[in-house]
Amino acid sequence: MDHSRLKDNIIEVIEEQQLKLGYLKETVRLYYPLSSLNRFLGVKEGVEEMQQLLQDFVMDVKDCFGKVVVTNEGERFCIAIPPEGAEYIHDHMDADGFLCDLIATVARHGSTLEDVLAQFYKHSGHVRVEEIRNGEFDYLVYFENGEPDSYRYCITVEADHIIYHRYTKEDYAEFEF
């Protein structure tokens, strides 16, 4: 089974965490609904079958992440990446890419929507911006060609700062904003 999409997502989420909060050599727990895990692994399995698939995943990633622990409560799974895995991700992180630029811009007090969009356009000429204003967020922004990433960025403008959340394309569609 191909575990690469799940592995890549774990790396990307932990990179984002480390860029925002700083690096600590500690266990990182990530929570996934069954539906997201099914999409990452390209299957349609129930809880028990997913538990087995994730044990296979644990064996597949042990060389880079260390001893990963997977637990679940119903359809909600916790994937605990040990300190060695957090360190591996930190040591292999691209600290000069789009996400780094975006987080630095959002973190700066007084950043505007134009400042944030400039970071998207700096990294691609294929940026889609949609005004949404659905009560959840104000704008949906993403790279039309999936480069440098395929996430959907939900942006809210609040007074003199910007907030963003990012979702996989599939999770964004499932939320039906």
pLDDT at site 174:
87
Q: Give the three-class secondary structure for 136.
A: coil
Q: Are 76 and 127 in contact (CB under 8 A)?
A: no
pLDDT at site 96:
79
Block mean pLDDT (10 aa), the chain, length 177: 95 95 95 96 97 97 98 98 97 88 94 96 97 92 96 93 94 86
Q: Are 156 and 138 in contact (CB under 8 A)?
A: yes
